[in-house]
Amino acid sequence: MEGINYYIKIGPYIKELREKNNMTKSQLADGICSISYITRIENGERCPTSVILRQITNKLGITPEYLFRAIESPTSLQVKDLLDQIFTDIEKHNFKNIYKLIIKKEKELDIRSIHDMQIIETFKCISTTFLNENYHWGMDEVKNILAPTYIEGSNPTDIEFMLLFSYGCFLLLSDQQEKAYAYLKNIEKYLDNIQFLHTRVLFPAFYIFLIAACLDTSNFKEASLYLNATIDYCKKYNTYSYLRELYFLKSELFDHLNNDKEFTIWYNKALMLHELIKNSDDEYFDVFIKNRLKKLKTS
């Protein structure tokens, strides 16, 4: 396959975007570089530094990634649009829509990037597993998706970590509580080394299942510490949809501690927040509560 010289192709594309925005070279260069530098970039005579490229694309209302995708192939931007929609839906627990989107789009799009393909396969696996409640299939699929890129024991990317913790999640949901607790505790160490996040919900999503595993294995002190830290994180980074599960898990902790008053307070907080922010097709939280209540009744 013939390689793409991105920097020769960047210039004409930047010029096209500048003109579409009715922006002069002087306006684009202002605060970034000289007008002559912009001219040389647009003519393909100069390769902009990563810092200058980011400043130019910001002023044009796009990102460097968007620019490279536009150059790479006509369908590359459509892949990005699909990925953006997937990450929006995962924040809403909208597994049905994720599955429908992927099934509809994956055969239409020219997906050249291994990384993009891994993201799509990851969310196809997660959505399929949750919708079908086939957790053993999900665990096998996680291993298959990780195999081409991940070396066991190495620091994972955020998507690889999502796959790793999904495996722990599926262990927990298949009633292998002790294994799930040990596995999730073991991979927690990787969180500090993740350099780039596609979405901030990765952290609360992981800790919700680690907290649940702590509760299921009677590690209540750990559960309390994780709950307080994760609730603070969600408030700080506006990942409020995950507070519902966290509030419910806090009520569950108080039930284990035989504190009926605090159980009622946090249980009602979870339900109230759910009513405020739920989506029309959000069944995830209802299923989550039903399954956790069933565990409480049998514990």
Q: Is residue 249 part of a domain?
A: no
pLDDT at 7: 60
User: For 18-54, what is each residue's pLDDT tens digit?
Assistant: 988 889 999 999 999 999 999 999 988 888 887 888 8
What is the domain range of residue 27? 6-72
Q: Is the pLDDT of residue 123 over 50?
A: yes
**Which residues make Cβ contacts (< 8 Å) with residue 42, sequence separation at least 6?**
11, 12, 14, 15, 18, 25
Per-residue pLDDT for 1 more than 50?
no
State the Cα–Cα distance between residues 55 and 223, nearest whole angstrom. 44
Lowest mean pLDDT among 95-109, 177-191, 222-236, 275-289: 275-289
Domain assignment present for 172: no
**Structural domain contains residue 67:** yes
Q: Using CA atoms, how far apart are residues 137 and 143, in angstroms rounded to an integer?
A: 10
**Phi-psi category of 258—alpha, beta or left, where left has phi over 0 and alpha has psi -120 to 50?**
left
Among residues 187, 216, 206, the alpha carbon closest in space to that of 296 is found at 216
Query: Does residue 271 belong to any structural domain of this protein?
Result: no
Q: Decide which of 257 and 93 is more confident.
A: 257
What's the CA gap between 128 and 275, in Å, rounded?
26
Handedness of CA 218, 220, 221, 227 (dihedral sign): positive
Residues 6 or more apart whose Cβ sits within 8 Å of residue 203: 191, 230, 233
Q: Is the dihedral of CA 55, 58, 62, 65 positive or negative?
A: positive
Residue 153 to residues 150, 158, 187: CA-CA distances in angstroms? Answer: 9, 15, 9
Phi, psi of 270 (to 5 degrees): -65, -45
Rounded CA-CA distance 289/275 in Å is 14
- Kindly state whether residue 204 falls inside one of the protein's structural domains: no
Q: What average pLDDT score do residues 80-94 get?
A: 85
Q: Give the count of domains, the chain.
A: 1
Q: Angle 104-108-112 (CA atoms, 0-180°, nearest 5)? A: 120
Contact 96, 281 (CB under 8 A): yes
Is 240 within the bounds of a domain? no
Lowest mean pLDDT, pick from 3-17, 79-93, 216-230 = 3-17
pLDDT at 28: 94
Taking CA atoms, 131 is separated from 98, 126, 134, 154, 215, in Å, by: 11, 9, 8, 31, 24
Please state, in angstroms and rounded to a whole number, the distance separating the CA atoms of residues 72 and 241: 35
Q: Does the residue 62 lie in any domain?
A: yes
With a cut of 90, say whether residue 210 has pLDDT above it.
yes
Both structure tokens of 59: 């002023």
Q: Residue 91 — very low, low, confident or very high, per pLDDT cuts 50/70/90?
A: confident
Give 171-184 pLDDT, tens digit per residue: 999 999 999 999 99
Residue 137: Cβ-neighbour burial (10 angstroms; 0-12, 13-18, 19+) = middle
Reply yes or no on whether the pLDDT at 2 is more than 50.
no
**What CATH number is associated with residue 12?**
1.10.260.40
Question: Do the domain assignments include residue 63?
Answer: yes
- Residues in Cβ contact with 130 at an 8 Å cutoff, skipping those fewer than 6 apart: 95, 284
In this prediction, residue 6 carries a pLDDT of 57
> Residue 80 in contact with residue 47, Cβ under 8 Å?
no
